[in-house]
Structure 1
Amino acid sequence: MVKKKLIETMMMKTKIYTALITLAVLGMCFSCTDINHLHEPYLERGEQIYLGKIDSVHMYAGKNRIEAGLWFSDVRAKNLVVKYNGETDSICIPLEREPERPLRSDSILIKIPNVNEGTAMTFKFIIYDANMKYKSLPVESLCSAYGDNYQESILNRRLINHSYENGTLTIGWLRTGSIQILNTEIYYIQKNGEENMIKLLPNEVSCFIENVKAGSKVRYRSVFRPEASAIDLFYTEYNEFTIGE
Structure 2
Amino acid sequence: MKVLLNKAIALLLLGILAACERYADDYKDYLNNQEIVYPGLARNVRYYAGDLRTMLVWNPSPDPNIDHYIVRWNNGINSMEVEATTHDPGDSISVVIPDLNEYVYSFTITAYDTEGNTSVGQELNNVRVYGSTYRSLLLNRGYNVSHLYDELENGDIILHFNRRDTLSAGTEIVYTDNSNQERTVELLADTNDVLLPDFKFGSAVRYRTGYIPEWGAIDTFFAESYDELPTIYRSVLADKSLFQPMNLPGDIGSAWGWEMPYLWDGVSDVDFGFHTADQDYPLSFTIDMGQSATLTRMKLWQRISGLYNYGNPKRFEVYGSNTPPGEDGNWAAWTLLGTFTSTKPSGTDRGIVTDEDRIFAEAGENFTFPAGIPEVRYIRFKILEPWGDGGTRYFHAQEISLYRQQR
Report the TM-score, using the length of structure 2 for normalisation: 0.47
Instruction: Give CA deviations for 1:192-243 in whole Å, capped at 9, x if unaligned.
Output: 4341414054674x76756421121101111101111211111112112443
Match of 1:7 in 2: none
Alpha-carbon separation, structure 1, partners of 2:81 and 2:68:
7
Unaligned stretches of 5+ in structure 1? 1-11, 98-102
Counterpart residue number, 1:140:
123
Contact residue 190 and residue 196 of structure 1 kept, 8 A: no
Matching of residue 149 in structure 1 with residue 133 in structure 2: yes
Q: CA deviation at 1:63?
A: 1.4
Contact 1:55 1:73 in 2 (8 A): no
Change (3 A) 1:67 1:85: same
What is the one-letter code of the residue matched to 2:17? M
Structure 1 CA distance, aligned partners of 2:71 and 2:36?
A: 22
Residue in 2 that maps onto 1:158: 142
Show the counterpart of 1:228: 215
Greater Rg by CA: 2
SS in 2 for 1:68: strand
For residues 56-91 of structure 1, what are the alpha-carbon distances to aligned partners after superposition, in whole Å with 9 as ceiling and x for unaligned? 433222112221233243333333221113222111
Given candidates 206, 210, 217, the residue that maps to 1:219 is 206
1:118 corresponds, among 103, 114, 121, to 103
Deviations 1:150-200 (A, max 9, x none): 112212223464468674556565555x42222322222233434141405
Corresponding position of 2:45: 57
**1:75-224 to 2 correspondence within 5 Å?**
75-96=64-85, 107-119=92-104, 121-129=105-113, 133-142=116-125, 143-159=127-143, 161=145, 162=148, 167=155, 169=157, 173=161, 178-194=165-181, 195-199=183-187, 201=189, 204=192, 209=196, 211-224=198-211
Q: Which residue in 2 is equivalent to 1:8?
A: none
CA distance in 2, matches of 1:43, 1:227: 47
| CA pair 215-72 structure 1, distance change in 2 beyond 3 A | same
Give the Cα–Cα distance (whole angstroms) in 2 for the partners of residues 47 and 198 of structure 1.
61
Give the secondary structure class of the aligned counterpart of 1:151.
Answer: helix
**What is the one-letter code of the residue matched to 1:220?**
Y
CA RMSD between the two structures: 3.3
AA paired with 1:190?
A: D
The alignment-based identity, stated in percent, is 27
Amino acid at match of 1:78: D
Q: State whether residues 168 and 210 of structure 2, in contact with CA within 8 Å, keep that contact through their aligned partners in structure 1.
A: yes
Contact 1:85 1:116 in 2 (8 A): no
Closer, same or farther in 2 for the Cα pair 1:45/1:153, shift >3 Å? farther
Counterpart residue identity of residue 147, structure 1: G
Residues 172 and 186 of structure 2 are in contact (CA less than 8 Å); yes or no, is this contact kept in structure 1?
yes
Structure 2 stretches lacking a partner, 5+ long: 234-371, 373-407
**Greater share of helix residues, 1 or 2?**
1
Change (3 A) 1:29 1:92: same
Give the length in aligned residue pairs.
224
Whether contact under 8 Å (1:53, 1:72) holds in the other structure is: yes
Q: Give runs of aligned pairs for residues 15-94 of structure 1, distance below 5 A.
A: 15-32=4-21, 35=24, 39=27, 42-44=30-32, 46-70=34-58, 71-94=60-83
The 1:45/1:111 distance shift into structure 2, 3 A limit, reads farther
* Contact 2:54 2:129 survives alignment (8 Å): yes
Deviates more, 1:213-222 or 1:14-23: 14-23
Q: What SS does structure 1 have at the residue aligned with 2:111?
A: strand
